[in-house]
Amino acid sequence: MQIVFMNRLSRMSGGDEEVFAQVWIGEEEGIWRLGWREFSGSEDNGDSLWYEGGSWNEMLCVYRHELAVKMGDGYRPLIDGAFHDEDSLSGSRNQEQLKLQYFSEQHGNESVYEELCSWRRGKASSERKAPYILASNRLLRMLSAFLPRTLEELLQIPGVGEGKASQYGEDWLSITSASEREHSFPLGWVHEAVDEEHFVSWQYKQKELKYKKQLERLRLRRVLLQGIGEGLGIEQLKALSGISRREVLEAIEELDKDGYSVEKLIALELAEVSSSEQASVWTAYELMGDTFLKPVLYKAYGEGFSPAEGLDVYYERLRLIRIRYRRGQSVQLEAATNL
């Protein structure tokens, strides 16, 4: 096996003893291997194999995830840029915002956070919006930790702009200003209040979560593509992947956007749908656009359409036909561009 990459890392263990490790990538006849080896004093603990297979992309995802786990546990690399991506943990305005986020996760007022979450649920329901559009969990955590009392203070919280402040600022301030606080604005003091080593470990934990999601997404796509190639339907793909039918459909849409062929699945799922019904849906997309499904549903099937079996099956049909429709629109646009 040929070693194509190696990096040395170290961390301090109990009793101020420095422990060393190596992460390495090797290749032999198209098979990638990824491993980790720890050294404690003169003792060599041998290799732990993290990955063995033919996919460079999957190996890289495993590398980033597992390395983030180790660095979250205190290991630091001899060579910077260990993740081989564009992210950096070096200083910038983004670092200041990350420290505010880190501090808020450590020192948030839980009762205020729960009250803000309750406000978000009610507001999302009344405005018929997804809760995350109103405010992310991260933003609510920061509001609960820093407890702004004025509009000027509120605008110093990352994620709060003029638009959000004018829409929801009064509601937020009515909650946050009701609690006592021991700190002041502006928030420049947070930089000194944060333990740098704990903060860096927390950043690597964030990377660990990020790379875990990337790895899960990559493996899901591989499972779905293999299943589609074998002629499986949505219900079988659901059982194979362990996700819901809706999540399968969302993943299928992403695969199509990325240029993978999912037509075999679409043809299978729409085999029992009449050509006239499919044509009605297609026409509805031409008339109503393909951004929102509800107006297309009622245009294709009639206002007040309420079948006994429920609407889920019809929304699935709309999404499958939309994949074909969007693909057709892209082909037409490309043809027009090349004229």
Position 95 scores a pLDDT of 86
State the DSSP code for 290. Answer: S
Cα 68 to Cα 212: distance, rounded to the nearest angstrom: 10
Q: What whole-number percentage of the chain has pLDDT above 90?
A: 72
Strand order through the sheet with 2-13: 43-53, 31-40, 17-28, 2-13, 76-77
Extract the runs of DSSP E, i.e. beta strands, from 105-246.
none
Q: Three-class SS of residue 212?
A: helix
Q: Residue 9 in contact with residue 22, Cβ under 8 Å?
A: yes
* pTM passes above 0.75: no
Contact between residue 245 and residue 234 where contact means Cβ atoms under 8 Å apart: yes
Q: At what angle do helices 162-176 and 110-127 cross, to 10 degrees?
A: 130
pLDDT value of residue 227: 97
pLDDT of residue 83: 72
Per-residue pLDDT of the chain (339 residues; tens, 9 = 90+): 899 999 999 987 766 778 899 999 999 999 999 999 988 766 677 789 999 999 898 999 999 999 999 988 889 888 776 776 655 555 556 888 999 999 999 998 999 999 999 999 999 999 888 898 899 999 999 999 999 999 999 999 999 999 999 999 999 999 999 999 989 999 999 999 999 989 988 988 998 999 999 999 999 999 999 999 999 999 999 999 999 999 999 999 999 999 999 999 999 999 999 999 999 999 999 999 999 999 999 999 999 899 999 999 999 999 999 999 999 887 776 666 665
First-to-final CA distance of the chain = 51
Is residue 262 within 8 A of residue 276, CB to CB? The reply is no
CA distance 169 to 68: 37
pLDDT tens-digit profile of 126-179? 988 889 889 999 999 999 999 999 999 999 999 999 999 999 999 999 999 999
Query: What local confidence, expressed as pLDDT, does residue 31 receive?
Result: 93
Nearest CA-CA partner of 181 in 173, 170, 169: 173
> Tell me, what amino acid is at 130?
A
pLDDT, tens only, 72-81 = 888 988 877 6
Per the CB < 8 A criterion, the answer to whether 59 and 32 are in contact is yes
Q: Is 45 in contact with 33 (CB distance < 8 Å)? A: no
Note the pLDDT of residue 92. 55
- 61 touches 214 (CB < 8 A): yes
Distance, in Å, from the CA atom of 11 to the CA atom of 92, rounded to the nearest integer, reads 25
